[in-house]
A and B are shown apart, each in its own frame.
Chain A
């Protein structure tokens, strides 16, 4: 009988710089597993963001580019247009994708660029030290919203999956979570689907992953998982919001507590 659990070949055997309890490691592993399963490492180019995952190329074993803040979708566009045979994915956080890179992700999705985006939503800027993000929850304290996010001044958190699903161009848009094994299994399926659509040259694909940041949230890893489930999931419903087959769909509201 073979090993039931092993390190994916697409994942390097190194120690990461991520904080204890951070869910980046889970997301990396899921991406690496999917790349192994599809057998595409030899023609995959990843694009690292600016933020905590800027060094994620140290944890993968295939070609990588490193973007400026928010610009990964434009770089992915450049690659896919000149080398459509390559499999390209961007790995972006919420400050990167939903703030400074809002224009790039919307236009890339609207053009139907055939790459995949893994979007880590942990409701905060991580690397720069826990500042407020567009995805920060109402009344959530951050280093730039010390009295809690006041939505009258800063608006409501941006729901990227729903926003991108509003585009008429066909695409695959899903939101899953990395908070419990049941969610993680669904996240894996969504990531597999997203890459599969790209391999088949079908459409743009994006999987938003509700994640935690215990360090910047000022919580223990277990409290962070609970807070995300209690606070974020009711606001950020999980499920598929758009598929190339069915168009816009509603997600799965039942995951919210």
Chain B
């Protein structure tokens, strides 16, 4: 199949179907409602399940119930909706069920606005709900990458029995770009009969399965949390992904940026290069786990004087950049979070102050 021109939200919807996910529950919210609109038709054609829930809270538990009986399932929402789903996300991680959540971020806090933002960074990578849990967070920078990450998210969710979050800013959902859908991804054999509440008769078993999150005995809860931590540590070993740009040069400043913002930064780097000024960039593709070593290695290059986090949020990504740089160089921040994507000129001006 060749390339087709698609809106990000519709491409995300189609990618889930191509990944073999035929179960979708959602509640409408701008700027990602096209996913539900697309799937309300497409899933009927494909013989899948489409249900518009009564709230994002309810949707997160529809996802939980379906995932807990071993079904491949996903939902999409935007910032305020993800806040409401965060209760359910905490339970799903605790119960170790695989599911995929897509957050097409808009500006906050509160109702905020409906234009692109990256202000849910902390919510996604530090835990929006209660308790010690982590999501595997993938951050696409193009519609094509959103498609690939959605398709990769389902096997990853099943590998870890943990929700995977696709974190895209509003532009990823709203812009149209040419996309090509990869062939079906290879999926490991499912072990769901060992844990899923899919009915004892389904698995020819006399042993019942139980999906729960309550551990009243402190030692048991601690052991459960250690088990979860071991999974998050494994993600750090096996799932780290980042992309570097212009790191072969003797760059003076290292940019760390993700999503749509990183594409603006590429333009910035190219423009500086024309002026004979070298700037490098590390773009995290996984936000959890965070590519700390890649950033530390890049910022430690002799030519590099400082790092700067360029983000559509008010100083969130920069905290993880600081933890990565570990004091090796000064770390700066530039960002906007009202729905405007900083222009290349604005970013160049800020970086110019550091040169």
Contact = CB atoms under 8 A, between A and B. Distances in A.
Interface of A: 41-45, 47-48, 54-55, 57, 61-68, 71, 74-79, 81-83, 85-86, 103-104, 107
A42 B61 contact: no
Interface string B50-64: 010111011111111
B248 interface: no
Contact of B58 (A47, A63, A65, A74): A74
A66 B211 contact: yes
Contacts of A82: 23, 49, 66, 69, 71, 73
A64 B211 contact: yes
A75 B64 contact: yes
Nearest to A66: B212
Interface stretch (B192-200, B222-230, B292-300): B192-200
B69 A79 contact: yes
21 contacts: A61-B208, A62-B200, A63-B197, A63-B208, A63-B209, A63-B210, A64-B210, A65-B95, A65-B210, A71-B88, A74-B60, A74-B64, A75-B61, A78-B65, A79-B66, A79-B197, A81-B25, A82-B66, A83-B71, A83-B198, A107-B53
B23 A81 contact: yes
Given A57-B212, A78-B62, A81-B66, A63 B199 contact: yes
B202 interface: yes
B201 A43 contact: yes
Contacts of A57: 210, 212
Interface of B: 23, 25, 49, 51, 53-55, 57-69, 71, 73, 87-88, 91, 95, 197-202, 208-214
Contacts of A103: 54-55, 57-58
B331 to A, nearest CB: 39
Contact of B61 (A45, A85, A104): A104
Given A75-B62, A79-B65, A86-B69, 12 more contacts: A41-B200, A43-B202, A45-B197, A55-B214, A63-B197, A63-B199, A64-B208, A65-B211, A68-B91, A71-B64, A81-B66, A82-B66
B129 to A, nearest CB: 10
A44 B61 contact: no
6 smallest CB-CB distances across A and B, nearest first, come from A78-B65, A42-B201, A75-B65, A74-B61, A78-B62, A78-B66
Contacts of B87: 68
B197 A65 contact: yes
A41 B197 CA distance: 12
Nearest to A74: B61
A76 B200 contact: no
Contact of B62 (A45, A68, A74, A85): A74
Among A44, A54, A81, A85, max chain B CB count under 10 A is at A81
A182 B62 CA distance: 38
A85 B25 CA distance: 19
A86 B199 contact: yes
Contacts of B210: 57, 63-66
A67 B61 contact: yes
A85 B59 CA distance: 21
A104 B53 CA distance: 9
Contacts of A107: 53-54, 58
